[in-house]
Chains A and B, each alone.
Chain A
């Protein structure tokens, strides 16, 4: 939790902590980001590496990979999104419950990467709003963890609504609490 979110002094306030509802909700959300592993290419291998004991994504409360979009909070698009697969990616994103976030892992998901071809979508941000882009081809697990920590920071700073830019315009999602 961000330090300024707390006004806590044990000598003055005893066992009472004063804070804002946003801060508590965001604190909870940022430490249980359940990923939807959208593994489409070699980035998914690094995603699995991040899930293993050496890098241990469970340190951040993200080890609960949910293969059902209904139970997931954050879609990690790990790999090359082809035009044929774009439909599936968008449909799974639509099936995820709000609040939801998207991480574009690696060059292909971010921009199409080296696949300048007839078959490849040039960046998954063309079909879903992306919160965090991670560079690398593929990124090492550390880079993924760094991106996920950035996402945690972003979640902590969210107010009463989620604002994202998608295809040049701002998309706002009201969060019902």
Chain B
């Protein structure tokens, strides 16, 4: 698909730089129409992925990325939508498979999907007060009560921050870093192939 096909029909669309597949910045108001147009007129009939992004310093802070696959033309397209007031229109009316993806993005980032048929959390429990994949949320977690009050009463257990430094870690000697757990051995990684 040529970029002009999308930018002519939706003039607010911008082409974004990308190393792997054609990527477009879509205005939130155009999103549902654009996804429907791509599905019906351009053959992008499979929603491969839908996820949220926390850009941290950008305004608007949150974005949603959609990967669409054309099973007939064998090509991908990526759409990025900036969330206006933490909200993005739901595309689950076009691709029903977006339903659970959007619930996950809501659960993890707090992005609201306008028009979603069932806007509940999907991974954490309903009363959980945070959105864990936001940049400011610590990996260890934040103390809150256990979801079931009766179980919490019997066991005395709450949702506690996981031990990061004080926990039962085994260090191969030397000082342990104060950073959250990550791979220490960087002698080869994605950027630097193994010798």
Contacts and interface: CB of A to CB of B under 8 A. Distances in A.
A85 to B, nearest CB: 10
Say whether chain B's binding surface is mostly helix, strand, loop, or mixed. Answer: loop
A119 B130 CA distance: 12
A116 B146 contact: no
Interface in A62-120: 83-84, 86-87, 90-91, 111-112, 115-120
A127 B163 contact: no
A30 interface: no
B139 A83 contact: no
Contacts, number: 64
A122 B160 CA distance: 9
Nearest to A166: B155
B3 to A, nearest CB: 40
Given A116-B139, A122-B160, A83 B147 contact: yes
Nearest to A91: B151
A126 interface: yes
Interface in B125-142: 125, 130, 132, 137-142
Given A90-B155, A111-B168, A126-B157, A118 B147 contact: no
Interface of B: 123-125, 130, 132, 137-142, 146-148, 151, 154-157, 159-164, 167-168, 181
19 contacts: A83-B159, A84-B123, A84-B124, A84-B147, A87-B151, A90-B154, A90-B155, A91-B151, A116-B139, A117-B162, A118-B130, A118-B132, A118-B140, A118-B142, A118-B162, A119-B123, A119-B141, A120-B162, A127-B157
